[in-house]
Amino acid sequence: MMENKENSDCLKDLHQTDPRDDKTHIQRTKGDLFKDSYRWVLSHNDFKQWRDNPQYRLLWIKGDPGKGKTMLLCGIIDEIEKSTTMHCLSYFFCQATEVRLRTATAVLRGLIYMIITQRPLLISHVRERYDSSGKKLFNDANAWEALSKLLMAILNDPSLKDAILIVDALDECVEGLPLLLKFLSQASSSSRAKWIVSSRNWPLIEENLDTAMQGVRLCLELNETSVSAAVKAYIQHKVQELTEKKAYNTTTQHAVERHLTSNAHGTFLWVALVCQELGDPKVKKRHTLDKLKTSYPPGLDPLYQRMMENIRDSLDAEICRQILAIVSVVYRPITLAELSILVDSHDDYENDELPDVIGSCGSFLTIRDDVVYFIHQSAKDFLLDKASDQILAAGIGHQHHIIFSRSLKNLTKSLQRDVYKLRLPGFPIEQVSLPDPDPLASMTYSCIYWIDHFSDPECLKALNLESRHRSEKAILKFCERKYLYWLEALSLLRRISKGILAIQKLKDVQTPQLAELLQDAHKFFLSNKRAIESAPLQAYAAALVFSPSQSRVRRLFITEEPEWILTKPHVETHWPASLNTLEGHTNEITQIAFSHDSSLIASSSWDKRIRLWRTNTGDCMQVLEGHKRPITSVAFSHDAELLASGSWDGTVRLWRVSTGDCLKILEGHTEKIHSIAFSFNSEFIASASIDGSIRLWDTDSGNHIHKLQLNGTDVTSIAFSPNSALVASASMENDEGTISLWCTETGRRIRDLRGHSKGIISIAFSHDSSLLASASADHTVRIWHTNTGECAQKLYHGRGLGEVAFSHDSVLVASASGREIRLWRTATGNRVQTLITGKLIGSIAFSQDSELMAIGLWDGDVYIKHVATGAHVQTLEGVDIVASVAFSPDSALVAAVAGREVRLWRIDTGECLQCIDVGARLQDLSITSVNSRILTNIGSIIFDSTDIAHTKIPAHFSGIGVRGDYSWITWNDNNVLRLPAKLGACHSAISRSTVTIGCESGRVIIIHFSTEELSKLYDCVEDSCIA
């Protein structure tokens, strides 16, 4: 039963659309499938060749807009389903005007869904990934990589024979078309499945599908006779329907048929549009012949132009123009409710008249399930390419500004606190259901996209200084009055991350007062994202009371703070360094690494997991699991596509960053791995182990290439040269430090570099690969020529020498010891600078431009120093010994490992963007038998001493409490106030209505609650539920 439920949950999360329903919907809206319009293709030589010859696996049907490709495929699907051969048939209909049907990932989801509904056992391929990733497997940023691999695995399953997959309208795949085309080409060549696809005559599609060696191409323009005959049969069918509906006499029937036949030019869509117009009740039978002569010219574009002329001459001309302009510019199809607040109607009509008004927009638009769509992609193309002067007379940028202005006006007017009437401050987002009516229904599009329209380049280009100032003044007014309500709405719409990215688009506003408020609003958003995302009404609770007392947002919304908190926690006056806590690791973090495009951070931990984080939002995009023991080292490949990890379990694992898949497990070491590195060309991985060996691996194949044996000595450090030709290893031999240089191509030891009298602490190549620096416990730094092995410079540093690093231009080398760093010129060995910190140094790193140095200190701070002058640039505050520090490749960010935290800062402002934190404990137990409660430092647990339980039972808390993981303060076991993870809460004590929280930093927080107000709040909610 459990397995069936898990399969059901997996299939439900995979489901985005059922293509069978889409097909039914298409046939209903376009008219029932008429067999004579497609039967010609069944006897066509190209179709039979694809059907009968196993060598031909791809049939591409291509033609211009309106040629009936979609209905042709509907007919083929029906014929395949009726055949006696038991095919596994899966299909998908792309539609550019429908969000859920216009992406490459949606295509794969639909195809996989249909296959699994027919062959349920194949869900095992999906479950392999779904069980560890959940729903995000299908909809996060890496969904394409995951789904394409899943579909290929399914198609290559031995149990799946005679599979046929059909994809209609490739040209309407708006997002990810190149990926989809590449996949189709590969899949049709490497699996037994057969494919049919259709599209317009696009060069991009032709270029990609030409690479499919096993393909057949069927061009509708080259089959004019067959297509024209099919169109003629379709005309006869449609005219017969009109005759029955309108009671045409024979003369009118024949006149309509003649006109359609002589003007259709092989285009089904033209016939369908004309017949739709003639079938309109507004067109009287007696007017039919006159309409034929004046209203329906041949060709789609002339027909569309005539529709525009009819709109222009109608009484609804202005509102139709508005609607067509809005629907042409919005980022997704919008509902009638969303459209209603974007139209400037001047109160000339009621909202329930909107469908009728849309019906007056020629035949450009259609309504399905209260969503407004273009009747066909060609209709939207015509409006934007050939009629923009009529619907967008002031330009597309002006239309973006209109949508922005009307959106903001309505949001300012209508957003309010607790819009869904949840009432409970800790109401979890997972339990929120849509109310009926939904108060956000009309505001949903505006809520999510208002900033996108304002920040669109076309909009900004269209605004003069006065208009921009006026717009920014409106944004300021909105933020001052409605900002918290907007955050709550974004949470209810499950679009919090979209909001963060949107706020960042406003960073270049020109109004100083708005810029200042937005800076504070962005910090407020980042700091409280997790709380508001998990429980929307925490926007008025935790988000306010834990924000700095001088936060602009907090001061603006001070009256929204909860009445049930009598004594609020003492907080900072201004925003602290750490703005966003990334929660996840459950043990100490061992290493961090930036991807080389600065967009990702990888963190490894003793909890045997690796987490990949986005630097811009703080979202954890992947959790990589598989190592059986703690992970000691992680490294990105230089193309940022792969991640390697080394562990105490003696293995190296190679992961694909985009999907989180473990591609290879590299086995061979017999002891713990303590260091790994990619070559700069990403072709090789080196791993060093305490078994005394370095192993080189081929990245593509995972094959072990070379074992570099060091006679049982312990390797302390390894490094690739930037040109990937050399690997350097440092080891102890006869109590002396030795460096060995190895050839990556042959695995041959080229030479040993000897001279250090004690162990080597660290090594580093210069960025031109010509030099190697080594720091030793003998208090010296040596610079070596890699091509000769000659020691070019011996630099005496003094006691306590630690880390060594080259500048990226290879001009300088830095050595750290105690409380100072010495900078040496590599060419001469002269000391050019001494950087005094006054504090013990844990780590150092040069920025990529060699202008700055980051210094990690034992007191938890990171200093940024200017290399040339030694000037102090920035102090980045932390709380624990900094063991490792690194710049992002663009030199804009610096990250540091400190105990169980990873902190990420902006260098220019000193702002700490994120902090990764862990852990909490339970303690201080006592029992009061009178009250039947267990008193703990996290709350009072109710129990019944007369009820003997032989199995574990869940704890029920009474009054004020604290969750065991210190994530929430509770009232009668209900969450009321979320505790920010950045607090590092690790102890708690409760005395009646007062909660005291102790933090790892030594900070103590005291919060006094009004039990009377909490009781009234929850009793009122319970009473309303009973009522």
Query: 3-state secondary structure string, 37-106?
Result: HCHHHHCCHHHHHHHHCCCCCEEEEECCCCCCHHHHHHHHHHHHHHCCCCCEEEEEECCCCCHHHCEHHH
Instruction: For residue 19, name the pLDDT band (cuts at 50, 70, 90).
Output: very high
Instruction: For residue 704, name the pLDDT band (cuts at 50, 70, 90).
Output: confident
Structure tokens at 8: 């059901």
First and final CA of the chain: distance in angstroms?
37
pLDDT, residue 145, reads 87
Structure tokens at 596: 């080389």
Domain boundary (393, 427, 447) is at 393
Shared domain check, 157 and 266 = no
pLDDT, residue 514, reads 93
Q: Measuring CA to CA, which residue among 936, 990, 945 is closest to residue 964?
A: 936
Domain boundary (333, 367, 393) is at 393
Domain boundary (517, 532, 561) is at 561
- Asked if 364 contacts 372 with a C-beta cutoff of 8 angstroms, the reply is no
CATH number at residue 211: 3.40.50.300
What is the C-alpha to C-alpha distance for residues 579 and 520, in angstroms, rounded to an integer? 11
pLDDT, residue 557, reads 96
The residue range of the domain holding 176 is: 2-224
- Asked if 923 contacts 987 with a C-beta cutoff of 8 angstroms, the reply is yes
Average pLDDT over residues 999-1003: 69
Structure tokens at 353: 């008249």
What is the C-alpha to C-alpha distance for residues 302 and 316, in angstroms, rounded to an integer? 21
Cα–Cα separations (whole angstroms), residue 935 to 452, 951, 975, 1012:
52, 21, 18, 21
Average pLDDT over residues 989-1013: 80
Instruction: For residue 965, name the pLDDT band (cuts at 50, 70, 90).
Output: confident
Alpha helices in 141-286 (DSSP H): 143-155, 177-190, 203-209, 224-246, 250-263, 268-278
Burial class (CB in 10 A: 0-12, 13-18, 19+), 493: middle
pLDDT, residue 683, reads 84
Lowest mean pLDDT among 214-223, 695-704, 1000-1009: 1000-1009
pLDDT, one tens digit per residue, over 34-84 is: 888 888 999 899 999 999 888 889 999 999 888 889 989 999 999 999 886
What is the C-alpha to C-alpha distance for residues 422 and 537, in angstroms, rounded to an integer? 8
Shared domain check, 983 and 849 = no
Residue 371 C-alpha from the chain's centroid: 26
Q: Measuring CA to CA, which residue among 823, 826, 882 is closest to residue 852?
A: 823
Beta bridge partners of residue 936, listed in sequence order: 939
Kindly give, in sequence order, each residue whose CB lies less than 8 Å from that of residue 912, ignoring residues fewer than 6 positions away.
576, 577, 578, 579, 876, 877, 903, 904, 905
Structure tokens at 991: 């005395």
| Gyration radius (Cα) of the chain, Å | 34
Is 857 part of any domain? Answer: yes
Is 51 part of any domain? Answer: yes
Three-state SS letters, 646-698: EECCCCEEEEECCCCCEEEEECCCCCCEEEEEECCCCCEEEEEECCCEEEEEE
What is the C-alpha to C-alpha distance for residues 211 and 274, in angstroms, rounded to an integer? 39
What is the C-alpha to C-alpha distance for residues 411 and 407, in angstroms, rounded to an integer? 6
CB atoms inside a 10 Å sphere around CB 388: 16
pLDDT, residue 731, reads 76
Number of domains in the chain: 5
What average pLDDT does the structure give for the chain? 83
Shared domain check, 254 and 190 = no
Cα–Cα separations (whole angstroms), residue 661 to 75, 130, 822:
39, 12, 43
609, amino acid identity: R
Residue 452 has pLDDT above 90, yes or no: yes
CB atoms inside a 10 Å sphere around CB 428: 12
Lowest mean pLDDT among 209-218, 442-451, 786-795: 209-218
Q: Measuring CA to CA, which residue among 781, 784, 782, 761 is closest to residue 771?
A: 784
What is the C-alpha to C-alpha distance for residues 334 and 325, in angstroms, rounded to an integer? 13
> Percent of the chain scored above 90 by pLDDT?
29
Shared domain check, 170 and 133 = yes
What is the C-alpha to C-alpha distance for residues 595 and 615, in angstroms, rounded to an integer? 10
Angle at 98 (CA atoms; ends 96, 100), nearest 5 degrees:
110
- Asked if 267 contacts 69 with a C-beta cutoff of 8 angstroms, the reply is no
Three-state SS letters, 820-837: EEEEEECCCCCEEEEEEC
Shared domain check, 974 and 1017 = yes
Structure tokens at 24: 């039914």
Cα–Cα separations (whole angstroms), residue 383 to 192, 233, 304, 376:
43, 30, 9, 12
- Asked if 713 contacts 733 with a C-beta cutoff of 8 angstroms, the reply is yes
Q: Measuring CA to CA, which residue among 355, 470, 485, 505 is closest to residue 410?
A: 485
Would you report the helix, strand and coil content of the chain in percent, each value rounded to 5?
A: 35, 30, 35
Q: Calculate the CA dihedral of residues 702, 706, 709, 710 and round it to 10 degrees.
A: -90
pLDDT, one tens digit per residue, over 279-296 is: 887 788 887 877 777 778
The b/e string for 154-192 (b: 16+ C-beta within 10 A; e otherwise) is bbebeebeebbbbbbbbbbbbebbebbbebbbebbeebe
> Coil, strand, or helix at residue 341?
coil
Instruction: For residue 603, name the pLDDT band (cuts at 50, 70, 90).
Output: confident
What is the C-alpha to C-alpha distance for residues 510 and 710, in angstroms, rounded to an integer? 63
Q: Calculate the CA dihedral of residues 833, 834, 837, 843 and round it to 10 degrees.
A: 80
What is the C-alpha to C-alpha distance for residues 815 and 954, in angstroms, rounded to an integer? 56
Shared domain check, 972 and 1013 = yes
CB atoms inside a 10 Å sphere around CB 665: 13
Shared domain check, 387 and 407 = no
Q: Measuring CA to CA, which residue among 753, 760, 752 is closest to residue 779?
A: 760
Shared domain check, 233 and 100 = no
pLDDT, residue 937, reads 43
Structure tokens at 420: 């869904």
Is 699 part of any domain? Answer: no
Is 605 part of any domain? Answer: no
CA atoms within 13 A on the CB side of 59: 28
pLDDT, residue 698, reads 87
Residue 432 has pLDDT above 70, yes or no: yes
Name the E strands within 574-660. 581-583, 589-594, 600-605, 609-614, 620-625, 631-636, 642-647, 652-656
Is 719 part of any domain? Answer: no
Shared domain check, 966 and 910 = no
182, amino acid identity: K
Instruction: For residue 929, name the pLDDT band (cuts at 50, 70, 90).
Output: very low
pLDDT, one tens digit per residue, over 296-353 is: 888 888 888 888 988 888 888 899 999 999 999 999 899 999 999 999 864 566 667 8
What is the C-alpha to C-alpha distance for residues 651 and 673, in angstroms, rounded to an integer? 7
- Asked if 263 contacts 298 with a C-beta cutoff of 8 angstroms, the reply is yes
pLDDT, one tens digit per residue, over 873-926 is: 888 776 566 666 777 666 777 777 665 555 667 787 777 766 644 333 333 333
**Residue 456: left (phi > 0), alpha (psi -120 to 50), or beta?**
beta
Shared domain check, 1000 and 889 = no
pLDDT, residue 944, reads 41
Q: Which residue has better confidence, 119 or 25?
A: 119
Shared domain check, 102 and 189 = yes
Beta bridge partners of residue 168, listed in sequence order: 93
pLDDT, residue 513, reads 92
pLDDT, one tens digit per residue, over 100-157 is: 898 999 999 999 999 999 999 999 999 988 887 788 888 877 789 889 999 999 999 9
Cα–Cα separations (whole angstroms), residue 862 to 688, 747, 874, 918, 981:
29, 39, 8, 21, 22
CB atoms inside a 10 Å sphere around CB 8: 11
Is 425 part of any domain? Answer: yes
Shared domain check, 404 and 371 = no
Is 586 part of any domain? Answer: no
Lowest mean pLDDT among 210-214, 405-409, 734-738: 210-214
